[in-house]
């Protein structure tokens, strides 16, 4: 297996109500353990591409292969649960759950709710520096803390891929730097494949690959 993620000729259009082509014949291949940043102007389809890779969206044509297996509507839930960890820009956490419960949620979905997972959740919260906030409800956490919980949550099921959609988009510079460092270093430490959608040039520069999405096409820039 050469590539962990293979995106072959993906096209996607939306109807508002007129047809708008967002992506056209986009292809992308990423090896295991590599990090890739997708940049581009607003509305170019970066998030759509990330959602298509993460099987949150169905492509009009083309396919996504993860570990050489095509993502279909039948296996998408299990792929998302076991192979992918998502980090979104905002509203990342479930407000009715504590930080610890939010971290453990993917393992609960995978029906792995045992002591080992609890121990792992404690370790991950410790890793993101929130061991003292584990029983805080999401609403009691700051924006930066929420994102750190989201990073810990993305790792709980030990996925091979981390998909991050502008993870520091809503944060101040100081918190954004902490998140960037945490994300890049953790991916490197755990040998995770990272696809990052960002406007931040500095953050993109930490990635092995940099892509620019322009005119519905993906152009490699590094």
Partner 1 sequence: MYELRLALRYLLPKKRAISTSIISIISFIVISLVVWLCLVFLSVTSGLEENWLSKLTQLNAPLRITPTSKYYSSYYYLIDTISQNSDYETKTIAEKLSAPQSNPYQSNIDADIPYFWPQKETLSNGSAKDLVKDMYSSLQDLQKQEPSLYFQDYEMSGAFLRLSLSRDQGEHLPLKTSFLSQMSYLLSFQGSNPHLKELMLQPTVDDINHLLIQPEIPITQDAYYPTFKNEGINRSVLDHIDILEVKSNSKFSMSGQILPEGVEFSVKKSPFSSTCTILNKKNNKDDCLKKVGDTVYINKEPFNFHELTFVFEKPVTMKVIAFQNKPTLHLEVETEIQGRKSTGSLPFLGLTIEKAKPKVFFDIAPKSPPFWAYYVKDIGWKLPEKGVLLPKSYKDSGILIGDPGYLAYNSTTASSSQEQRISFKVAGFYDPGVMPTGNRFIFAPQEIVRTINASSSFLTTDSATNGIMLWTTPIKKALDIKPLISSQLKKRELDSYWKVESYEDYEFSKDLIEQFKSDKLLFTLIALIILVVACSNIISMLLLLINDKKQEIAILLSMGATRKSISLIFGLCGFITGLMSSFAGILAAIFTLKNLDVISSFLSSLLGHQAFNASFFGDHLPNHLSYDALFFIAVITPIIALIAGLVPAIKASRLKPSSILRSQ
Residues that bind partner 1 (CB under 8 A): 47-48, 51, 54, 56-57, 77-82, 84, 86, 88-97, 105-106, 108-110, 113, 139, 153, 157, 165
Q: Which is nearer to partner 1, 89 or 186 (CB)?
A: 89
**Closest separation in Å from C-beta 47 to partner 1:** 6
C-beta of residue 22 within 8 angstroms of C-beta of residue 217:
no
Nearer to partner 1, 72 or 113 (CB): 113
Q: Are 2 and 31 in contact (CB under 8 A)?
A: yes
Residue with structure tokens 């990330």?
Answer: 50
- Cβ of residue 2: shortest distance to partner 1, in angstroms? 26
Q: How far is the CB of 28 from partner 1 (least distance, A)?
A: 18
Least Cβ distance, residue 205 to partner 1 (angstroms): 26
Instruction: Write down the least CB distance from residue 100 to partner 1, Å.
Output: 13
Of 37, 65, 8, 26, nearest to 212 by C-alpha is 37
Q: Whose Cβ is closer to partner 1: residue 33's or residue 169's?
A: 169
Distance CA 17, CA 146 (A): 36
Nearer to partner 1, 34 or 80 (CB): 80
In terms of CB distance, is 35 or 47 closer to partner 1? 47
Q: For the chain, how long is the longest CA-to-CA vector?
A: 52
Say if residue 76 is exposed, middle or buried (CB neighbours under 10 Å; 0-12, 13-18, 19+).
Answer: middle
Residue 143 burial (CB count, 10 A): 15
Please list, in sequence order, all residues whose beta carbon lies within 8 angstroms of the beta carbon of residue 126, skipping any fewer than 6 positions away.
Answer: none
């Amino acid at each position: 297996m050469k590539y962990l993620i293979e995106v072959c000729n993906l096209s996607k259009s939306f109807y508002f109500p007129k047809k708008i082509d967002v992506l056209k014949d986009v292809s992308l291949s990423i090896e295991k353990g590599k990090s890739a940043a997708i940049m581009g102007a607003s509305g170019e389809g970066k998030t759509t591409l990330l959602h298509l890779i993460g099987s949150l969206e169905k492509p009009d044509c083309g396919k996504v292969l993860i570990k050489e297996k095509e993502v279909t509507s039948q296996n998408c839930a299990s792929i998302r649960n076991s192979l992918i960890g998502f980090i979104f820009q905002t509203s990342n956490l479930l407000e009715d759950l504590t930080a610890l419960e939010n971290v453990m949620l993917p393992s609960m979905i995978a029906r792995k709710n045992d002591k080992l997972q609890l121990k792992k959740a404690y370790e991950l919260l410790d890793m993101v520096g929130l061991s003292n906030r584990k029983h805080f409800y999401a609403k009691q956490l700051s924006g930066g803390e929420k994102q750190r919980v989201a990073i810990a949550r993305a790792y709980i099921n030990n996925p091979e891929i981390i998909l991050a959609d502008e993870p520091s988009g809503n944060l101040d510079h100081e918190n954004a730097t902490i998140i960037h460092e945490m994300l890049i270093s953790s991916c490197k430490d755990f040998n995770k494949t990272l696809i990052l959608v960002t406007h931040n040039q500095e953050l993109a520069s930490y990635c092995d690959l940099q892509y620019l999405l322009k005119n519905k096409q993906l152009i490699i820039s590094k």
